[in-house]
Copies of this chain bind each other. A is one copy, B any other.
Amino acid sequence: MEITRKNFKESLEVIETAINECSFLAFDGEFTGLNHAGMSHAAIFDTPEERYYKVVQGASDFLLNQFGFCTFSYDGTTKTYTAKPFNFYVFPRPFSRAAPDVRFTCQSSSLDFLMSQGFDFNKWISEGVSYLRPVDEASLKDQIIKKHEVLSSPAFISPSGGSQPPGINKSPVEIPPEQKDFVDDICKRVEKFLESGEHESYSLPPCNGFQRKLTYQSLEAKFGSDIHLQGKTNDKKERYIVVTKIKDSDDVKRIEENKQAQDLAEVDDAVGFTKVIKMISQSGKLIVGHNMLLDVAHTIHQFLYPLPQDYEEFKSMCHCVFPRMIDTKLMSNTQPFKDRVENSGLSYLHTLTQMPPFVKPEVVLPEEWDNKYKTEMLHEAGYDAYITGQCFIALSNYLGQCQSPPTERIPPGSPLLQPFLNKIFMMRSLDIPYMDLCAPDLNPARDHVFHITFPKEWKNSDISQLFAQFGNVHIGWIDDVSAYVALNSKSVANYVLKTLCKKGSVYRIRSYNDHKNPKYDEGTINPYKYVRPKSNDNGDVHHDMTDEKKGVKREHSVEPEDNDSIEVGSAKKAKTLNVDAPEFTPTSTPEKEEELQWPDNINSSEKKVGEESTKSKLFTEPDDW
């Protein structure tokens, strides 16, 4: 069901019923952009806290422009889920002159992508449902009430109709010569209106702000307490003044009271979509998302409360707003699913979970629902929520199949799902698969990770050559002159610093831990005097140049080396639910990258673009995973 401001109010009841009667709901958001230019490849080494700061930045700048959710209710007799998908366009329309006039950032590739997926930007702007954070709602209502208190104070409304505030030096603006005709015309119109006695009120033609000022001033001087004036805006966004006849001061009071009631109702309307988020939050129902970190963060920030600066506070806030969440991307990257899910992108996962060994869930839409999701509508938030919920049902039930004896259906509250509860997938992370909202985050040892600074001419090849004797490495570029380097083989980690820390070298290397918690200011080595570390010795200029050009930027080896898995959560009946780093492979993250339109240059610092490995050059496509 598509919800715009045209059918929002009339749909609220249907929405509320759907939320209250469901077993769980899935949700998804679309955004005007995802990240700022130059986001570093070092994201693979982000701690959850570091990742959170990037998310806060994104949520403050970009806008969630489409929110979809889908409720799922289970009928035990028919063994069928009834799904009710809702798709909302949301737009921060400034409904009044006091309302927030939101500025937000767009990323052109994101708009281009959404457009290619059928997002209707005209509908978004003209029919998007508005929203207001509770704090803005309160402050706007407060302003309206305070204004009315002043207007109805005895000192203000006097029987003589004197609206001139006492004791304030306020002489009228002199009417400039070129405005005299305009003012005369206005006065004549109002005179005629008062004489005719036909209508209660009369709308003056639209005019500019200065002319409206002159209008107020001139009409007040001429007609005093016989009229009441009120500014309005027409469809063309032009401002005009409505003149109303006044018999006594009660008339003024009545008009002002009506106006206040109108103003308050207008704010109430503007709260709009925030009401839906409050319903979802207050329902306490399980919320399912696919790679849901951005969705959750944007939803809270945009519709409820600005995200806090403190990460632990964010975790509490999240848990408070949505007390039960499960991320299907995290599920599919965890055993027993990991070995069966070669690509955890939502679309692929949906297809996969409709085939054996998974059991395609029976999901029907209510008769009165539009049937447009019969065809694939990827990246419409409502559709993505709809298929995310289906994936969740299939994945959950698969956990039942793995039981002994097998169970056909695993309900959303099953203890089998406990290991996934309130853990949000952390995309691209090498060794921290999720943020844990209800417990301290994982803190895997990073003894095999090093921080290195080097001359800005260095490329992947220079770093991998430097580490060649220690085997394959993961490189996470921070910027032009620094990177994290992780050994694939942890066993040789102890030898790295002993071997590579040399006086007078052009690079500077230290352990990840020392970099994160520097114990003292070390003496400075000039890292900017450029000497190529190895090919430097070649002496062959041409070869050296070739070598430089061929610098490999994105050389990864992803096979997990160790298998010391950590058991997380209490999976009472689950057999193989290891939700942790060693069992977690980052190999299936790229699909979601694409879905989320992370730009390719996230994989390398910007200045390195166009200097990919020769391999990618030959094949003309950079390795973008």
Complexed CA–CA distance, A394 and B231 (Å): 34
Asked if A594 contacts B208 (CB within 8 A), the reply is yes
Complexed CA–CA distance, A537 and B170 (Å): 20
Give A56-108 interface residues, CB cut-off 8 Å to B.
Answer: 91-94, 97-98, 101-108
Given A116-B236, A590-B209, A614-B150, decide whether A170 and B552 contact each other with a Cβ distance below 8 A. yes
A496 in the interface, Cβ–Cβ < 8 Å? no
A550 in the interface, Cβ–Cβ < 8 Å? yes
Asked if A153 contacts B625 (CB within 8 A), the reply is no
Asked if A151 contacts B617 (CB within 8 A), the reply is yes
Give A165-187 interface residues, CB cut-off 8 Å to B.
Answer: 165-171, 173-174, 176-179, 181-182
Q: Which residues of B contact A94 (CB under 8 A)?
A: 108-109, 112
A406 in the interface, Cβ–Cβ < 8 Å? no
Q: Which residues of B contact A558 (CB under 8 A)?
A: 173-174, 176
A239 in the interface, Cβ–Cβ < 8 Å? yes
A-B residue pairs, 6 tightest by C-beta? A231-B621, A209-B625, A208-B591, A209-B590, A121-B121, A165-B550
Complexed CA–CA distance, A610 and B241 (Å): 19
Interface string of A467-496 (1 = CB under 8 A from B): 010001000000000000000000000000
A36 in the interface, Cβ–Cβ < 8 Å? yes
A230 in the interface, Cβ–Cβ < 8 Å? yes
Beyond known contacts A151-B617, A156-B614, A229-B619: 4 more, CB 8 A cutoff? A150-B550, A165-B613, A209-B624, A213-B623
A525 in the interface, Cβ–Cβ < 8 Å? no
Interface string of A527-571 (1 = CB under 8 A from B): 000000001000000110011011010011111000000000000
Residue of B whose beta carbon sits closest to that of A101? B109
A520 in the interface, Cβ–Cβ < 8 Å? no
A164 in the interface, Cβ–Cβ < 8 Å? yes
Asked if B342 contacts A181 (CB within 8 A), the reply is yes
Give A496-519 interface residues, CB cut-off 8 Å to B.
Answer: none
Q: Which residues of B contact A111 (CB under 8 A)?
A: 91, 125
A446 in the interface, Cβ–Cβ < 8 Å? no
Complexed CA–CA distance, A348 and B178 (Å): 13
Asked if B98 contacts A550 (CB within 8 A), the reply is no
Q: How far is the CB of A18 from chain B (nearest CB, A)?
A: 29
Q: Which residues of B contact A623 (CB under 8 A)?
A: 209, 212-213, 216
* Residues of chain A at the chain B interface (Cβ within 8 Å): 32-33, 36-37, 91-94, 97-98, 101-109, 111-113, 115-117, 120-122, 124-126, 143, 146-147, 150-151, 153, 155-156, 163-171, 173-174, 176-179, 181-182, 207-213, 216, 220, 228-231, 235-239, 241, 259, 338-343, 345, 348, 461, 464-465, 468, 472, 535, 542-543, 546-547, 549-550, 552, 555-559, 585, 587-591, 593-594, 599-601, 609-610, 613-625
Asked if A231 contacts B37 (CB within 8 A), the reply is no
Given A169-B468, A176-B559, A613-B170, decide whether A102 and B108 contact each other with a Cβ distance below 8 A. yes
Complexed CA–CA distance, A181 and B352 (Å): 13
Complexed CA–CA distance, A542 and B472 (Å): 79
Residue of B whose beta carbon sits closest to that of A343? B208
Residue of B whose beta carbon sits closest to that of A230? B620
Give 17 pairs: A residue, B residue, CB < 8 Å, sorted on A: A32-B106, A36-B103, A91-B108, A101-B109, A115-B126, A150-B546, A150-B550, A168-B550, A168-B614, A174-B558, A176-B342, A178-B339, A178-B588, A207-B343, A209-B593, A216-B616, A228-B619
Residue of B whose beta carbon sits closest to that of A538? B167
Asked if B237 contacts A113 (CB within 8 A), the reply is yes
Q: Which residues of B contact A91 (CB under 8 A)?
A: 108, 111-112
Asked if A168 contacts B546 (CB within 8 A), the reply is no
Q: How far is the CB of A559 from chain B (nearest CB, A)?
A: 4
Q: How far is the CB of A532 from chain B (nearest CB, A)?
A: 12
Asked if A465 contacts B237 (CB within 8 A), the reply is no
Complexed CA–CA distance, A401 and B619 (Å): 70
Q: How far is the CB of A139 from chain B (nearest CB, A)?
A: 9
Q: Which residues of B contact A594 (CB under 8 A)?
A: 208-209, 238-239
Complexed CA–CA distance, A581 and B583 (Å): 75
Given A210-B587, A229-B619, decide whether A103 and B101 contact each other with a Cβ distance below 8 A. no
Asked if B122 contacts A620 (CB within 8 A), the reply is no
Residue of B whose beta carbon sits closest to that of A465? B169
Q: Which residues of B contact A593 (CB under 8 A)?
A: 208-209
Residue of B whose beta carbon sits closest to that of A121? B121
Asked if B97 contacts A622 (CB within 8 A), the reply is yes
Asked if A93 contacts B122 (CB within 8 A), the reply is no
